[in-house]
Amino acid sequence: MLTIKDLHASVEGKAILKGINLEVKPGEVHAIMGPNGAGKSTLASVVAGKEDYEVESGTISLDGEDLQELDPEERAHKGVFMSFQYPVEIPGVSVTNFVKTAINETRKAKGLEDMPAKEMLQKIKEKADLLEIDRKFLSRSLNEGFSGGEKKRNEIFQMAMLEPKLAILDETDSGLDIDALRIVANGVNKLKSKDNAVVVITHYQRLLDYIVPDFVHVLYNGKIVKSGTKELALELEEKGYDWIKQELV
Amino acid sequence: MNSMDLKDKLVTSFLAFENKVDTNDFVHGIRNEAIKNFEAKGFPSKREEAWKYTSLNSVLKHDYSVSFNKENVIEYKDVKKYFIDDTETYKIVFVDGVFSAHLSKTTHDKLDVCLMSAALTKPKYQPVIENYFNKIAAKDGLTSLNTAFTNEGAYIHVPKNILVEKPIQIVYFSTGSEAAAMIQPRNLVVVEENAHVQIIERHQSLTSNPVLTNSVTEIFTENRAMVDYYKIQNDNENASLIDSTFVNQQQKSVASVHTFSFGGKLTRNNLNFYQNGEYMDSILKGITIIGDKQHVDHNTLVHHIEPNCESHQDYKGIFADSATGVFNGKVVVEKEAQKTNAFQSNNNILVSDKATINTKPQLEIFADDVKCSHGCTIGQLDESAMFYMRSRGIAEKEAKALLMYAFSNNVLDSVKINELKTRINKIIANKLGVNMGFDL
């Protein structure tokens, strides 16, 4: 599904990613962990197509198709979704209208008609229930005045609506209390299938108790320095990142 | 032609005009006074503080025809789109400055919705004319010019306790039968105690010949009266508009003016509110969306004279290409006007590097127990919001449009005529080149 080969990326001339290799197959859950400043969020943004980042070399492809020449919206149409660490507030646009627009824009790109209103409403209801989202919440302006937890839940709600092939969850656990964390993780697990894949980016092991990864990678100083199974996450939690750093020296 | 030539032409044609129109002594006196005033003051220049960012040179250079007699007939089907159509309304329609009976729907049943020319000449209107006409219009050059040539326009008189359910549409069409035309409409709106009326005003050129409209409107809102006034400015690139509107409010009245500026070569709005009473609310709102080399200037004044009143100003502007905008908002709070709440905000987005906005709040506060706030912002579209939306599959153009929609959206909240709101939404969508598929 997602293949990243020897990816080097920089922002404003500063090298952040220094040779990333990653292969994510359908049905898999990957966790990317690492200390602050390791390049985790940069990796997510580069895959989603943020223009502030300059890809110096290497390739990113989805199902064999090179993503690098595609605009962010085109990547979304191909099935890439990134849950933002800091979702943006858009006053004046309701959650419902935003989601409707996103879905219909994607359909338009695929040459499909708008989703019938009834089907849309049914889907909104179903996914809102899955994430235990109150109806009133849906008519509020997107992310405006939302608590940290509400913002993250809203991100996963959008993911549920858009049904991406590849979901990258960037620090989705930050700002969540334990109940919200459980709801969000439960939502992600329910959306999981053999045809899609999830990349969880996190600083802490906590989220991985709920979304159990098949593989764990440690990102440090722009490179994946260690890969393993879910036990690696536990080891990191116990020993901290210094252990990795020392091992590298 | 330059502004001096045009001035001379106007002054010279005044005598012929005065001899032609049938009028009473009272109005005659006001006109003569006004032409002298215009002769002394002339057109404003950029040297004047209030005109620093708006030059009239480019619109005053044409050899305008200044008087019109014959009615040029236009068919309703050809101009239907400029009206609110599904809602039942009264209509006062002018074509090249001349009243068009077949496009209009006037009334004298309970209220008067009719012609200024009739009101100025018929004895039964004389008391109203003498009480209200030219009582609050300013004495600057342009307003004086309009006063001197006062002849035609809308006359609306709503007596005490009348709630007018049908909105009133005032529409001025220009057909281009003259090479260049200067039109000077004069409207008078008197809303008596506890009465309520909604008015929509539009100036529309149907020609590529230059048109200059110098419009003056006086609105009197008496005790506990309510007036909602909407101005739609979406004219073509050869039409310019100078609109001077004066609102006089009495005790416990509420007056709102929404100005939607989406087109025209040059548009100048002088909007003045005078609060003569307590417990009143004045609402001034505007959305400006322009591109090319269009220019829109909002020059507002709210004069708080007595205590316990409010004013709310909210202007949004989106400027593309080489468009230029001006917002100059003045709020005066007199010493007696304690407990005043005056709010003003002007937010702008520049979509292109060549677009310009000059925004200037001006507060003169002489009372000490007041709440006054003002804020102006100038920004570009938020890049992080753009990326967020695009990453969810919304294409760049639509994402921009959605952001701009959202930006101007709250100004539409207070529009009370649903069909008008839908219409404005459509004009905005059209301006932004998208169909969002839902109303915000």
Residue-wise pLDDT for B249-286, tens only, equals 999 999 999 999 999 999 999 999 999 999 999 999 99
Q: What is the predicted pLDDT for the residue at B71?
A: 73
Name the closest residue on chain B to residue A106, using Cα atoms: B393
Identify any residues that bridge with A62 across adjacent strands, giving them in sequence order. A2, A65
Q: What is the pLDDT of residue B288?
A: 97
| Residue A235, pLDDT score | 87
Of B165, B172, B193, nearest to B104 by C-alpha is B172
- Residue of A48, A89, A101 with shortest CB distance to B394: A101
Residues with Cβ within 8 Å of B374's Cβ and at least 6 positions away in sequence, in order, are: B329, B331, B343, B344, B345, B361, B363
Query: Which burial class, exposed, middle or buried, applies to A228 when counting CB atoms under 10 A from its CB (0-12, 13-18, 19+)?
Result: middle
> Strand A53-62 relative to strand A2-11: parallel, antiparallel, unpaired?
antiparallel
Please answer yes or no on whether A90 and B388 come within 8 Å at the CB atom.
yes
Closest CA–CA distance from residue A180 to any residue of chain B (Å): 23
| Chain B CA closest to residue A94 | B440
User: From the CA of A90, how many Å to the nearest CA of chain B?
Assistant: 7
pLDDT band at B4 (very low <50, low <70, confident <90, very high): confident
| CA-CA-CA-CA torsion sign (B374, B283, B436, B201) | negative
Whether the pLDDT of residue A70 is over 60: the answer is yes
End-to-end alpha carbon distance in chain A: 33
pTM: 0.85
Mean pLDDT of B210-229: 98
Mean pLDDT value across residues A72-83: 97
ipTM of the complex in this document:
0.95
Inter-residue contact B418 to B388 (CB < 8 Å) = no
Residue pair A72/A45 in contact (Cβ under 8 Å)? The answer is no
- Write down the pLDDT at residue A175: 81
Give the model's pLDDT for residue B266: 97
Spatial separation of the C-alpha atoms in residues A157 and A187, rounded to whole Å: 8
Structure tokens at B235: 């004219």
**Residues 6 or more apart from A64 whose CB is under 8 A from it?**
A3
Mutating which of B287, B347, B390, B392 best tests the A interface, going by the most A Cβ atoms within 10 A? B392
In chain B, which residues have their Cβ closer than 8 Å to the Cβ of A51?
A: 387
- Chain B nearest CA to A80, separation (Å): 8
Q: Give the number of A-B residue pairs with CB atoms closer than 8 Å.
A: 83
The Cα-based distances of B86 to A133, B259, B422 in angstroms read: 39, 22, 11
Are the C-beta atoms of residues B182 and B214 closer than 8 Å to each other? yes
Residues whose CB falls within 8 Å of the CB of residue A71, separated by 6 or more in sequence, listed in order: A49, B390, B395, B396
> B interface toward A at CB cutoff 8 Å?
382, 384-385, 387-396, 398-399, 402-403, 405-407, 409-410, 436-438, 440
The dihedrals phi and psi of B345, each to the nearest 5 degrees, come to -140, 145
In this predicted structure, the answer to whether residue B439 has a pLDDT above a threshold of 50 is no
By C-alpha distance, the chain A residue nearest B413 is A92
Q: A162 and B402: CB-CB below 8 Å?
A: no
- pLDDT-based confidence at B20, cuts 50/70/90? confident
At residue A247, the pLDDT reads 78
Picking from B382, B402, B407, the nearest residue to A101 by CB comes out as B402
- Smallest Cβ distance to B388: which of A84, A101, A105? A84
B382: which chain A residues are within 8 Å (Cβ-Cβ)? 88
Per-position b or e across B277-299, b if 16+ CB within 10 A of its CB = bebbbbbbbbbbbbbeebbbbbb
Question: How far, CA to CA in Å, does A190 sit from each of A18, A31, A194, A205, B412?
Answer: 35, 18, 12, 20, 41
B395 with A109: Cβ contact below 8 A:
yes
Q: State the helix-helix crossing angle for A117-130 and A148-162, rounded to 10 degrees.
A: 130
Q: Which of A119, A179, A130 shows the shortest CA–CA distance to A156?
A: A130
- Indicate if the pLDDT at residue B392 is higher than 80: yes
* CA-to-CA dists, residue A51 to A71, A191, B173, angstroms: 9, 29, 48
Cβ contact, residue pair B437, A101, below 8 Å: yes
Which residue of chain A comes nearest to B400, CA vs CA?
Answer: A90
Q: Return the pLDDT at B440.
A: 41
Three-class DSSP labels, chain B? CCHHHHHHHHHHHHHHHHHHCCCCHHHHHHHHHHHHHHHHHCCCCCCCHHHCCCCCHHHHCCCCECCCCCCCCCCHHHHHHHCCCCCCCEEEEEECCEECCCCCECECCCCEEEEHHHHHHCHHHHHHHHHHCCCCCCCCHHHHHHHHCCCCCEEEEECCCCECCCCEEEEEEECCCCCCEEECCEEEEEECCCCEEEEEEEEEECCCCCEEEEEEEEEEECCCCEEEEEEEECCCCCEEEEEEEEEEEECCCEEEEEEEECCCCEEEEEEEEEEECCCCEEEEEEEEEECCCCEEEEEEEEEECCCCCEEEEEEEEEECCCCEEEEEEEEEECCCCCCCEEEEEEEEEECCCCCEEEEEEEEEECCCCCEEEEEEEEECCCHHHHHHHHHCCCCHHHHHHHHHHHHHHHHHCCCCCHHHHHHHHHHHHHHHCCCCCCCC
The CATH number of the domain holding residue A39 is 3.40.50.300
Q: Chain B residue closest to A164 (CA)?
A: B392
Interchain proximity B390–A71, CB inside 8 Å: yes
Per-residue model confidence (pLDDT) at position B25: 83
**Domain total in chain A:** 1
Q: How far apart are the first and last CA of chain B?
A: 47
Beta-carbon count within 10 A of A248 CB = 11
* Residue B381 C-alpha, separation from nearest chain A C-alpha, in angstroms: 11
Q: What pLDDT band is residue B437 in, cutting at 50, 70 and 90?
A: low
Instruction: Report strand pairing: B112-115 vs B181-183.
Output: unpaired
Could you tell me the residue range of the domain that residue A136 belongs to?
2-248
CA distance, residue A117 to nearest chain B CA (Å) = 11
- pLDDT-above-70 percentage for chain B: 98
Least confident among B18-22, B67-71, B234-238, B399-403: B67-71
A40-49, A85-94, B333-342, range with the lowest pLDDT: A85-94
Which residues of A sit within 8 Å Cβ distance of B? Answer: 48-51, 71-73, 75-77, 80-82, 84, 87-93, 97-98, 100-106, 109, 114, 158, 162
- Name the β-bridge partners of B356: B324
> For residue B284, what are the β-bridge partners?
B257, B313
Instruction: Name the average pLDDT for chain A.
Output: 93
Burial label for A148, CB within 10 Å (0-12, 13-18, 19+), is middle
Question: Do residue B438 and residue A100 have CB atoms under 8 angstroms apart?
Answer: yes
Mean pLDDT of chain B: 93
Tell me which chain B residues have a C-beta less than 8 angstroms from the C-beta of A101.
394, 398, 402, 436-438
Contact call for B437 and A71, based on CB within 8 A: no
- Asked if residue B436 has pLDDT above 70, the reply is no
Q: Residue A177's pLDDT band (boundaries 50, 70, 90)?
A: confident
Instruction: Determine which of A90, A96, A143, A157 to mutate to test the interface with B (most B C-beta atoms within 10 Å).
Output: A90
How far is B382 from chain A, CA to nearest CA, in Å? 10
Residue-wise pLDDT for B314-330, tens only, equals 999 999 999 999 999 99
B88 pLDDT higher than 70: yes
Rounded percentage of chain A residues whose pLDDT exceeds 70: 100
The closest CB to that of B395, out of A81, A87, A105, belongs to: A105
Question: B202 near B232, Cβ under 8 Å?
Answer: yes
Q: Is A197 exposed, middle or buried (0-12, 13-18, 19+ CB in 10 A)?
A: buried
CB spacing of A73 vs B436 below 8 angstroms: no
Contact A224, A192 (CB under 8 A): no
CA distance B261 to B318: 10
pLDDT of residue A243: 82
* CB–CB contact B388 A93 (8 Å): no
Query: How many angstroms separate the CA atoms of B251 and B280, rounded?
Result: 6
Amino acid at B125: Y
| Nearest C-alpha neighbor of B252 from the set B227, B281, B274 | B281
- Beta-carbon separation of B387 and A76 below 8 A: no
8 Å CB contact of B394 and A73: yes
In this prediction, residue B70 carries a pLDDT of 72
User: Residue B28 corresponds to which amino acid?
Assistant: H
Give the model's confidence band at A249: pLDDT under 50 very low, under 70 low, under 90 confident, else very high: low
